[in-house]
Amino acid sequence: MAKDTKISWSHHTVNWWTGCSKVSAECKNCYAEALVKRMGRSFADRKMRVAAAMKEAYAYDAQAKALGKRAIVFTNSLADFFDPAADTEREAIWEVIRETPNLYWMILTKRPHLIAERLPSDWGEGWDNVWLGTTCGSKRPYKCEHTGALMTPLDRVKALQAISCRVRFISAEPLLEDISDIDLIGIHWIAAGGESGPEWNYADRRMNIAHAAAIYDKCKASGIRFLFKQASHQFTERGINALNLYLAEQAGERIDSKTCELIREYPTEADGKLMEFNPPGPNARFSMSDWRDYKAKAPVARLTILGQ
């Protein structure tokens, strides 16, 4: 079955609307903002597309059912599902999610403190086909846009842990610092990756692969599934084997950068029941010389210009 998304770690994307507002440091170079602006629209406008998304959802569900394997839908890649600006639409959207049991709806939000009051009334311990996640790639404080209170991404993880859910996950992307001391109780899956785009090599944005290794080690010790998405790079999904190369180097082992098995795990309940993923593109893996260049290229300091 053809995938409709370039994201190699999910099968589809469905956007119920597009547009958002920035929440914290991880949002700085939001790719959704760049894409929406490229479409000639204001990112601040929440442009609803519920009817179109509904058709996509039912079609993907029917395809997955025919194949006998479930598909992962990355939900709202161009928006935030728990954005209160879309409250009027959410009930109808939950209805579609309820009626598509062959899909796993991967819902990632930077507003987990708003989840509880926006769940459907029969949520119970969580629906089987919904994974709820939040972003935690740094510990930098920010002002909550809803309450004005100072909070950090660690507070988001706590808010997620308080929600009953079949699969709770953390997106540690962009990973901006070492977050390996976070409490992972109740977390089932972590996906980590580096900043991509023009700012990838700024010292305050570039991922230190040792920080990805630290969170990976903690996941392994705690039995939490882990997916390494990419190194920091100008382009997305580059250096998807960078963590393997780093770990082999630390252990004094040699591995083949072209064929080494990637660290791309999914939550246990999805194992064996998922559709095949499209293989990552030919440039997705670092060659040994890419890896040497990556290590040799020191992150650059950001120029601070007064008045900007």
Q: Which residues contact 83 (CB under 8 A, 6 or more apart)?
A: 20, 21, 46, 111
Say how many Å lie between the first and final Cα of the chain, rounded.
48
User: Cβ closer to ligand SF4: 80 or 237?
Assistant: 80
User: Cβ closer to ligand SF4: 27 or 255?
Assistant: 27
Kindly state the smallest distance separating residue 7's Cβ from ligand SF4, in Å: 14
- Told to check if 32 binds ligand SF4 by CB under 6 A, we report yes
Q: What is the C-alpha separation between 257 and 296, in angstroms, rounded? A: 18
Q: Which stretch binds ligand SF4 (CB under 6 A): 16-24, 67-75, 147-155, 275-283?
A: 16-24
- Told to check if 46 binds ligand SF4 by CB under 6 A, we report no
The encoded tokens of residue 55 equal 């058709």
Q: Which residue has the tokens 């049991």?
A: 101
Among 7, 14, 25, 30, binds ligand SF4 (CB under 6 A): 30
- Told to check if 192 binds ligand SF4 by CB under 6 A, we report no
Amino acid at 267: P
Among 12, 90, 110, 229, binds ligand SF4 (CB under 6 A): 110
The encoded tokens of residue 165 equal 């859910």
Q: Which residues contact 109 (CB under 8 A, 6 or more apart)?
A: 80, 81, 82, 115, 132, 133, 134, 135
CB 158 within 8 A of CB 170: no
**Burial bucket for residue 305 (CB in 10 Å: 0-12, 13-18, 19+):** exposed
- Told to check if 195 binds ligand SF4 by CB under 6 A, we report no
- Told to check if 22 binds ligand SF4 by CB under 6 A, we report yes
Among 14, 20, 130, 184, binds ligand SF4 (CB under 6 A): 20
Angle between helices 209-222 and 242-250 (to 10 degrees): 80
Q: Which stretch binds ligand SF4 (CB under 6 A): 20-28, 180-188, 231-239, 274-282?
A: 20-28
- Told to check if 80 binds ligand SF4 by CB under 6 A, we report yes
Q: What is the C-alpha separation between 107 and 104, in angstroms, rounded? A: 9
Among 1, 27, 85, 284, binds ligand SF4 (CB under 6 A): 27
Kindly state the smallest distance separating residue 202's Cβ from ligand SF4, in Å: 17
User: Interface with ligand SF4 by CB under 6 A: which residues?
Assistant: 20, 22-23, 27, 30, 32-33, 79-80, 110
